[in-house]
Structure 1
């Protein structure tokens, strides 16, 4: 008998997201925020829902150096769309 328990909750688990997709999501109003040591990607500016994936800190540092994203001026680690987009 094969158990299908893992498939039931796969949508709730955030997936890894690449650089191009992060820039596209942020340019449409999303954000990246650090929660419990992991950078998560959200579709909107509300970090209580719509968490769609996770991204590596090195990827965000590279995108910030390119000017594609920028850090928000709040106390929390938060990234928004860059000024060049």
Structure 2
């Protein structure tokens, strides 16, 4: 019996992953950033999207970053990103 082979279309997979991150991941991480920013005087937590050419292994992602010194201090002291991660939620 002949062995079946699956051909993986890498660019097609990247297009699908990028679409999912843009439509689902960014909204979820925005909710986390907004919840974390409620504890600061000005917005210091921001959503970052990475992926594409220079990255390879599981390269598309949406993350929340500490963009200011206040956010870095708040996160270090209160573990803010972990404590607000539940705000990412599921379907909305």
Specify if TM > 0.5: no
Give the TM-score normalised by the residue count of structure 1.
0.27
Structure with the larger strand share: 1
Give the TM-score normalised by the residue count of structure 2.
0.26
Which of structures 1 and 2 has the bigger CA Rg?
Answer: 2
